Amino acid sequence: MSRFYSKIGNVKVLMHACVLSLFIALSLQVDAQDGKKLFRGNCASCHKLEGKLVGPALSGVQDRWDSKENLIAWIQNSQQYLSDNPGDDYAHSLYEEYNKSVMPAMPLDEAQVNAILDYIANPSAGEEKEAGAGDKQMVAAQDSGEDYTLYWLLGFLVVLLIVIKVLLDVKRSVKHLLYDVKGDEGFEKDGEVQDFNWSTKEKLQHWAGRNKVLVALMGVVVLVVVLNVVWQGLLGVGVYQGYAPEQPIKFSHKIHAGDNEISCVYCHHAAEKGKHSNIPSAMLCMNCHQGIQEGSRWGTEEISKIYEAVGYNTETAEYDKPKKPIKWVRIHNLPDLAYFNHSQHVVAGEIECQECHGPVETYDYPMKQYAPLTMGWCINCHRETEVKMNGNDYYDDLHAELVEKYKEEGIEKFTVEQIGGLECAKCHY
Amino acid sequence: MKRVLLICSVVAAFAGCSDPQSPGVEYMPDMYRSPSIEAYEEEKLFADHSGARMPAEGSIPRGFMPYQYENTTEGYEMAGKELKNPLPYSEELVSEGKEIYGKFCVHCHGKKGKGDGAVASNPKWPGPPPAYDGARLKDLPAGKIFHSITYGKGLMGPHAGQINQEDRWKLVYYVQTLQGKDLKAMQAEAGSDQKEMEEENKEDNNTENQDA
């Protein structure tokens, strides 16, 4: 009995040990996780572990400082530390090296700074789990990505062709057999022709002679099709719709405007201010891409082209290389004879970008022209679009005038046509 | 055989319109591609072949007042101390500021300025910006907000090229509401008692100095 109890006792001790070790392991992980979170929330907007960002790389930061206490004091309030320790050459040289840009004081207590330093010393702790989950997701995504419809259709077509060929061969063999049985006279009597030695041309001529109506109909159909193709082709002269040329950088509007919800006018800000909308300068790309140096699809290949354009050196985090402009290929192009003003449509007309440019936030690379941008297309929109005059002070005076003018006709809503949108000289002068 | 080839080439020529690499057939291309320089056009006159040129150094657009503080730590502190919003406060300005915020700031700083916008929460982004109403930014004076939008701060790039000065001041009003400031009360105080306002500003700056 006592042995039994002692066994239970052993089990109890074992369980306690297990629970305890589990707790320790968990709390350690919590520490590492907290450090990562704190790092991301407080440090990562200026520092990376490897390589400069705004400030220096933090990997091995503890080795570069004499004591951990000084480092913690520096992190909590760097300006205070500099004035308190005029003799710390390393801290002062660091301040000089980064053009006296101040690292803001961090409202962090010692334990939090320690958690961050632990994370910097050992960033991989607690990351394995996340990585595993990520791989699984990737596999799932790949599985659902394939589309077999085309293969099925092709397979079906091949089978169909084989069947037709076999049937034709059978028909031919049967005819040969019949000829053997009936002979020339029998064929003549049944209205059949012995055509075994005819050329394809002779066969066709014979068939056409017997099916004149059908041939005439086919001729008409072919003529209509050809005329239609020519007509459509002529209508397409000078229309760029669907034009989607390769660009020097594989820029995806879907990633930027779709997934990351960046507004169109963040980059194309001149659309609200002037006649032209602008292609953003490469420096504007740097607003985000100083931080994001690796893309999800092409890695550093495409993003490094921005750095080439603005002369950014990722190692020194400075613009110390030669600059090289990006040669974007222009897609939308109106002939010189037509005047178009972006701000007029976007600000006064309150037209969404997507109405003319299509759902650009869903367009991956390359960008394409959505609308035909023909005169007919412009006119159609001017006829149908109601001008949003209420609450738009641009139209205050005009609105009152139009209400007066169209009172007798009973028109209360005004399209662009009524404010002169169809007059030739509005766009051609 | 020649006839077949001819027909094929004619069909191909028209089918060519649907090739995404080509803009298609152009009738009188000189109406599309005019000899005058269009925006962003390549121009062989210049060494880098870029038709878009920088204005001559030191040139100032008509009616434009250059920003007087330099992009240095001292400039930042001075702007914080001296700069005041030149636009008289009104609720309309705040709502205009909100609209501008929705176009130029929201994707990083988030709807409520918590630093949780779509870009900032993208795992590829190094680290989100601090919240406007958090310990680091809630007492940031208007001048420093304006200075930061103009020149950028930390990972945030300069936005002077995208947002003009007037719009930046409207933005400052809206950002201040996100900081949790009662602008109306601040404005009323400024109107009734200028001295008190100045003292308050001094206090603001003092706390900010400790921060920095």
pLDDT tens for the 429 residues of chain A, in order: 445 444 544 555 555 655 555 555 544 454 555 888 788 778 887 888 887 778 888 888 888 888 888 888 888 888 888 888 888 888 888 887 887 777 877 878 888 888 888 888 888 775 554 444 444 444 444 444 567 888 999 999 999 999 999 998 998 888 888 888 888 777 777 777 777 778 888 888 888 888 899 999 999 999 999 999 999 888 888 888 888 999 999 999 999 999 999 999 999 999 999 998 999 999 999 999 988 988 888 889 999 999 999 999 988 888 999 988 899 998 998 888 889 999 999 988 889 999 999 999 999 988 999 999 999 999 999 999 888 877 777 777 777 787 787 777 777 778 888 888 899 998 998
Please list every residue in chain B whose beta carbon sits closer than 8 Å to the beta carbon of residue A330: 40
Establish if A327 touches chain B: CB-CB under 8 angstroms.
Answer: yes
Average pLDDT over residues B39-59: 85
Q: Among the listed ranges B144-148, B164-168, B184-188, which one has the minimum average pLDDT value?
A: B184-188
Q: What is the ipTM of this complex?
A: 0.80
The hierarchical CATH code for the domain B73-211 is 1.10.760
Cα A400 from Cα A413, distance rounded (Å): 12
pLDDT band, residue B14 (cuts 50/70/90): low
Domain boundaries, chain B: 73-211
Q: Nearest-CA neighbor of A394 among A346, A338, A342?
A: A346
Establish if A247 touches chain B: CB-CB under 8 angstroms.
Answer: no
Measured CA to CA in angstroms, residue A238 lies from A338, B16, B19, B111 at distances of: 14, 13, 14, 44
Cis peptide before A366 (omega within 30 of 0): yes
pLDDT at residue A134 in the model: 43
At residue A262, the 3 state secondary structure works out as coil
pLDDT band, residue B1 (cuts 50/70/90): low
Mind telling me how many Å the CA of B193 is from chain A's nearest CA? 32
Residue A318: strand pairing partners: A313
pLDDT band, residue B95 (cuts 50/70/90): very high
Mind telling me how many Å the CA of B7 is from chain A's nearest CA? 10
Establish if A230 touches chain B: CB-CB under 8 angstroms.
Answer: yes
pLDDT at residue A130 in the model: 47
Among chain A residues, CA nearest to B46: A325
At residue B39, the 3 state secondary structure works out as coil
Reported as type and span, the H/E element at residue A160 is helix A149-189
Between residues B64 and A7, the one the model is more confident about: B64
Cα B72 from Cα A286, distance rounded (Å): 20
Average pLDDT over residues B70-88: 91
Helix and strand counts by DSSP (H, E) for chain B:
8, 0
Show Cβ contacts of residue B209 under 8 Å, excluding neighbours closer than 6 positions: B77
Given a contact cutoff of 8 angstroms between Cβ atoms, the answer to whether B107 and B169 are in contact is no
Inter-chain touch B103–A263, beta carbons under 8 Å: yes
Write down the residue that tokens 């404005």 correspond to. Answer: B187
Between residues B195 and B84, the one the model is more confident about: B84
Inter-chain touch B119–A262, beta carbons under 8 Å: yes
Which of B64, B162, B168 is the best substitution to test chain A (most A C-beta atoms within 10 A)?
A: B162
Inter-chain contacts counted by CB atoms under 8 A, chains A and B: 161
